[in-house]
Amino acid sequence: MNKPIKRLFIVSVLMFASLIAMLGYRQVIEAQDLADNPQNTRKVFAQMRIERGLILGSDKSELAKNRKEDDLYYRVYPKGDLVPHLVGYSDPTYGQVGLEHSQNSYLTGTADEVELVNLFDTLTGKQKRGADLKLTINLQVQRTAQEELQKIGKRGAVVVIDVKTGAVTAMVSNPTYDPNQLGANWQQLNSDPDSPLFNRATQGLYTPGSVFKMITASAALESGAFTPQSRFRDDRGTVDIGGFTVHNYRAEPFGEHSLAEAFSQSINTTFAQVGDQLGKDKLIEYMQKYGFYEKPPFDLPSDEIAASGRYENGELLSPGDSMDRAQVASMAFGQEQLQVTPLEMALVAESIANGGKMMKPYSVDSVSDYNGTVVKQAKPEVWKTPIRPDMANELKDMMVKVVNEGTGGKAKTGKVQIAAKTGTAEVTGRGPNAWFVGFAPAESPRYAIAVVVEDSDAGGGIAGPVMRETLLAALGL
Amino acid sequence: MPATFATATHTGLVRKSNEDSLFARPPVFVVADGMGGAQAGEVASGTAVSAFEGYVPQAKSPEDELKRVIAGVNANIYELASSEASRSGMGTTLTAAVVRGNSVSIAHVGDSRAYLWRDGVLDQLTEDHSLVGEMVRSGQITPEEAEGHPQRSIITRALGVDSAVEIDTRALEWKPGDIILLCSDGLYSMVDDGTIAAILAKRDNLYVSAWALVEAANAGGGRDNISVVLVSPDGGIETGLDDDTAQIATMAPGQDTANAASNASALSGTPAPPEGFFTRIKRWLASVPGRITIGLALVIVVFSAAWFITRQVYFIGVEGDHVVIYRGVPYDLGPLSLSSVYRNSIVTFSDLEPFEQDRVLKGELQSKSGAETMLDNYTAQARDRKQEAERQAAEAEARAKSASKNLVVPPGGLP
């Protein structure tokens, strides 16, 4: 080869090499960043060209499907305002939330498990297609819970969990909204003081009040220092701890009673003393055993799930932060700076019902491709083991007493034995939060439930019928 | 007897146009191979040969006359090339032969050649004015190496590239039976001297031989234009032309085989050249039966391909009340259905969920395995549901039985 040809050859080789290097860089290393760049509206349109997978209820009825218009697919939610907080929406203008957001890779068929586009599909010009999600949500139970909450006409939430598996059977947040009407109602939905778009079941932080006594009781029983039969005496209806006076509800004195009775009658003075005796570290330890201070591993986007724990000015405090005696005593019966989500309280009830094993909650039962082949199946997994099985049984008995002899009478039904814990959490500035947390059937639990009703001037019992009717619907009774 | 001759020129198989030109009017014979882009080569070679139309040799040994004519040509082309930008750099080779009495005068610039065939031996009369030619002459490379040399198309001398040019001339005595061959490099770069000699040795009439040389060059690759002039100085070989026709041939540049042949016939009454294999195929393809055959073949190919494709695709559909796999496409061609049931199933349409019914009704084309998977899934689902229904029915029956056991039957039995 003579010199000019050799030089030309070297130059072309270098140019090709740099071309390949740049292409590789853009396509491999930068690809994700470029695709995720919000200025890249092509991604939105590219995704709208994909036939998104359906979202189905546990009975395979459609919760989300597609409407095709000018080669673009738009989402339609046939059940309207029934499950919007969990399912979410996918909209070119308003973005994606809920499962539509967190499960987007399955719904658009880009997840590794569903990349099934083969040579044949390419040849027949088939577009990439999303996989279908089958949820664990039982629409019958969902509808009952929603209707019962709406009957009360207050803000609130219901979470129902399958005790053995952790499958979420219902997840209701009230008020709700219709994801088909986002365009027409966007302004109003965002300015509404009741925040209908907000998923109270997983993000709503509520003072637990007496339902927290499930955790204090767990710590007390497992410490060995207390049994359900441990005796207490309360003559005044108040007790002073660390310079702070604890009152019973209406400062009612209960006289001599057992720990089980203190639980079923929700005696604050006794639980304040138990908490004081156990100390801060023990209580915090059991909160962490029950999953406090972390976000439950659930299918929703992480920013739509809140962790339960002690909060100050909207910020989760560290479990190690110091507390004085009065704070510990106050926390022991569910006040102080505690904030919990309905999902977390449902998980607490679920683990007591499940012999001390807290299952990982999930709402996506399976993912199937267009031909109906299951590409991913949820497997029940234990997330936490907060208490021993025998302790769980003792707690269960105490919770049965709450319904049969104590504060939970509003949940009583002749059809099935329900176990529960009530709570009437004081909230500064407005009416208390009414809680009902429990499970049924008590002898062989199948469903755990947490119900919260905000601003309930009618007292804690208001949530009882919501729990009862929802559990009956779940059990098919 | 006056000299007889034949000419042939062909674009070859690779080039788009023929930049060669040739001229033949006894006793003057010329081959020119033009170069330069955008038709400039054709202009150059055409200009070169047309200069010989007004030339009648006077001297017994006309080498000096040839030099004058060629120098004039050089000046003409040089002027043309410098006057117009698009023609700058154009030029042409030129090899001319004049037969006078018992001698032949050759004048020559560039890499077109003149050969003498005598008693079966081919003798090259000219030296190529090319880089490779000079390297061979100086012994840098062997003639064998020259054949495949990448720079063999670089010529060192041509008409029109400079205001003055050096022209080689020579003269030789001819003998009865000799053949003079003038040709462009399109012939000798594709056909070795032995083959050329063998073709000439057949002593067919000159036209047959000329076209046989062209065919041989095309068979060898036809990478360049091919021009051939064959001259029998003693008139001992027939031309293959009618005797009466005027024996003049000027090949205008840019003509392909057919044109060249008919042009030759028009000018000099030449018969059509002997047909090569390619020519025959080409002519048959252009004929009516040829076209019909091609049309039918195409229709058959298209239909078979379409049929073959429809047999490769499957779709899920409903036959009666059952969900089945069809093979083919979900269309009818008049009375002809393009699909047939490929596999039956126990799944009824009503077994399916509404969204599954939508998918079945859509009848989307699938691969065989895709359609089978879909139907398998629906079948499993229907079977599970049936078993579940049976289990529930059995449970209900058991409950009813145990209830009837508890029924208190009054003495004497029920009425």
CATH number at residue B67: 3.60.40.10
> Residues B345, B259: one domain?
no
Question: CB–CB of A372 and B353 under 8 A?
Answer: no
**Which of B275, B303, B337 is the C-terminal boundary of a domain?**
B275
Instruction: Suggest the residue from A120, A139, A367 to mutate for an interface test with chain B (most B CBs closer than 10 A).
Output: A120
Whether residue B309 lies inside any domain: the answer is no
Question: CB–CB of A373 and B353 under 8 A?
Answer: no
Is some CB atom of chain B closer than 8 A to the CB atom of A124? Answer: yes
Is some CB atom of chain B closer than 8 A to the CB atom of A26? Answer: no
Is some CB atom of chain B closer than 8 A to the CB atom of A60? Answer: yes
Q: CA Rg, chain A, in Å?
A: 27
Question: CB–CB of A372 and B374 under 8 A?
Answer: yes
Residue-level pLDDT at A50: 86
Report the distance separating Cα A384 and Cα A344, nearest Å: 12
Whether residue A29 lies inside any domain: the answer is no
Whether residue A218 lies inside any domain: the answer is yes
Whether residue A28 lies inside any domain: the answer is no
Question: CB–CB of A370 and B359 under 8 A?
Answer: yes
* Cα A259 versus chain centre, distance: 30
CA distance to partner chain A, nearest, from residue B153 (Å): 17
Question: CB–CB of A65 and B377 under 8 A?
Answer: no
> Residues A282, A416: one domain?
yes
The DSSP bridge partners found for residue B31 are B22, B95
Per-residue confidence in pLDDT tens, chain A, 477 aa = 577 788 888 888 888 888 888 888 877 777 767 666 655 555 667 778 888 999 999 999 999 999 998 888 999 999 999 999 999 999 888 889 999 999 999 998 877 766 554 555 656 556 678 899 999 999 999 999 999 999 999 999 999 999 999 999 999 999 999 999 998 999 999 999 999 999 999 999 999 999 999 999 999 999 999 999 999 998 888 899 988 888 887 788 899 999 999 999 999 999 999 999 999 999 999 999 999 999 999 999 999 999 999 999 999 999 999 999 999 999 999 999 999 999 999 999 999 999 999 999 999 999 999 888 899 999 999 999 999 999 999 999 999 999 999 888 899 999 999 999 999 888 877 889 999 999 999 999 999 999 999 988 656 689 999 999 999 999 998
**Which of A108, A135, A162 is the C-terminal boundary of a domain?**
A135
Whether residue B54 lies inside any domain: the answer is yes
Question: CB–CB of A61 and B359 under 8 A?
Answer: no
**Which of A119, A135, A151 is the C-terminal boundary of a domain?**
A135
Nearest residue of A to residue B377 by CA position? A372
> Residues B271, B340: one domain?
no
Per-residue confidence in pLDDT tens, chain B, 415 aa = 678 888 899 988 888 888 899 998 888 999 999 887 667 888 889 889 988 988 888 888 888 889 999 999 999 888 888 887 777 778 899 999 999 888 899 999 999 999 999 998 999 999 989 888 888 888 888 888 877 777 777 888 999 888 888 999 999 998 888 999 999 989 998 898 999 999 998 888 888 899 999 999 999 888 889 999 999 988 878 877 654 333 445 554 444 443 333 333 333 334 445 556 777 787 788 788 888 988 999 999 988 888 888 888 899 999 888 999 999 888 887 788 888 899 999 999 998 999 999 999 888 888 888 899 999 999 998 999 889 889 989 988 888 877 666 555 455 544 4
> Residues A269, A199: one domain?
yes
Q: CA Rg, chain B, in Å?
A: 41
Is some CB atom of chain B closer than 8 A to the CB atom of A118? Answer: yes
Question: CB–CB of A60 and B365 under 8 A?
Answer: no
> Residues A194, A306: one domain?
yes
A249 close to A268: Cβ distance less than 8 angstroms: yes
Question: CB–CB of B367 and A120 under 8 A?
Answer: yes
> Residues B21, B77: one domain?
yes
Across the A:B interface, residue pairs with CB atoms under 8 Å apart total 34
Is some CB atom of chain B closer than 8 A to the CB atom of A120? Answer: yes
> Residues B143, B53: one domain?
yes
> Residues A110, A209: one domain?
no
DSSP-assigned letter for residue A112: G
> Residues A112, A187: one domain?
no
Whether residue B291 lies inside any domain: the answer is no
How many structural domains is chain A composed of? 2
> Residues B180, B319: one domain?
no
Residue B350 in tokens: 């009503």
DSSP-assigned letter for residue B348: B
Is some CB atom of chain B closer than 8 A to the CB atom of A64? Answer: no
Whether residue A4 lies inside any domain: the answer is no
Task: List the domain range (segments joined by +) for residue B367.
Answer: 314-401
How many structural domains is chain B composed of? 2
Tens of pLDDT, residue by residue over A418-464, are 999 999 888 877 889 999 999 999 999 999 999 999 988 656 689 99
Question: CB–CB of A371 and B374 under 8 A?
Answer: yes
Chain B residues touching A56 at Cβ < 8 A: 353, 355
- Rounded (10°) angle between helices B288-310 and B277-286: 80
Chain B residues touching A62 at Cβ < 8 A: 354-355
CATH number at residue A415: 3.40.710.10
Question: CB–CB of A373 and B373 under 8 A?
Answer: yes
Chain B residues touching A118 at Cβ < 8 A: 367
Q: Give me the DSSP letters along B266-288.
A: HHH-PPPPPP-HHHHHHHHHHSH
CA distance to partner chain B, nearest, from residue A123 (Å): 11
> Residues B107, B195: one domain?
yes
Instruction: Suggest the residue from B154, B356, B367, B388 to mutate for an interface test with chain A (most A CBs closer than 10 A).
Output: B367
CA distance to partner chain A, nearest, from residue B374 (Å): 4
Residue A274 in tokens: 């138990």
Report the distance separating Cα B377 and Cα A373, nearest Å: 7
Nearest residue of A to residue B312 by CA position? A120
**What is the H or E stretch that residue B343 is in?**
strand B336-343
Chain A residues touching B373 at Cβ < 8 A: 371-373
> Residues A83, A192: one domain?
no
Whether residue B205 lies inside any domain: the answer is yes
Nearest residue of A to residue B375 by CA position? A371
Nearest residue of A to residue B309 by CA position? A124
> Residues A74, A219: one domain?
no
Question: CB–CB of B377 and A371 under 8 A?
Answer: yes
Residue-level pLDDT at B239: 77
Whether residue B66 lies inside any domain: the answer is yes
- Beta strands A338-339 and A315-316: pairing type? unpaired
Chain B residues touching A124 at Cβ < 8 A: 313, 365
**Which of A118, A135, A152 is the C-terminal boundary of a domain?**
A135
Q: Taking a contact as any Cβ pair under 8 Å apart, which residues of chain A between 268 and 307 contact chain B?
A: none
Q: Which residues contact A415 (CB under 8 A, 6 or more apart)?
A: A472, A477
> Residues B261, B370: one domain?
no
Residue A457 in tokens: 């001037």
> Residues A151, A279: one domain?
yes
> Residues B256, B322: one domain?
no
Whether residue A444 lies inside any domain: the answer is yes
Whether residue B413 lies inside any domain: the answer is no
Chain A residues touching B367 at Cβ < 8 A: 118, 120-121
CATH number at residue A56: 3.90.1310.10
> Residues A111, A153: one domain?
no
Report the distance separating Cα A29 and Cα A34, nearest Å: 10
User: For chain B, first and last CA: distance in Å?
Assistant: 143
Q: Measure the CA angle with vertex A437, ends A434 and A442; round to 5°.
A: 145
Whether residue B236 lies inside any domain: the answer is yes
> Residues A184, A102: one domain?
no
Tens of pLDDT, residue by residue over A51-74, are 899 999 999 999 999 999 888 899
> Residues B184, B268: one domain?
yes
B377: nearest CB among A65, A124, A372: A372
Q: Is the ipTM value over 0.85, yes or no?
A: no
Whether residue A38 lies inside any domain: the answer is no
> Residues B340, B227: one domain?
no
Whether residue B146 lies inside any domain: the answer is yes
Question: CB–CB of B356 and A372 under 8 A?
Answer: yes
CA distance to partner chain B, nearest, from residue A126 (Å): 9
> Residues A63, A203: one domain?
no
Chain B residues touching A61 at Cβ < 8 A: 353-354
Whether residue A22 lies inside any domain: the answer is no
Question: CB–CB of A56 and B374 under 8 A?
Answer: no
> Residues A152, A114: one domain?
no
Residue-level pLDDT at A47: 78
Number of continuous H segments (helices) and E segments (strands) in chain A: 18, 22
> Residues B88, B222: one domain?
yes
- Residues belonging to chain B with any Cβ–Cβ distance to chain A shorter than 8 Å: 313, 353-356, 359, 364-367, 370, 373-374, 377-378, 381
Task: List the domain range (segments joined by +) for residue A69.
Answer: 47-135
Question: CB–CB of A371 and B373 under 8 A?
Answer: yes
> Residues B249, B348: one domain?
no
At residue A315, φ and ψ (nearest 5 deg) are: -110, 135
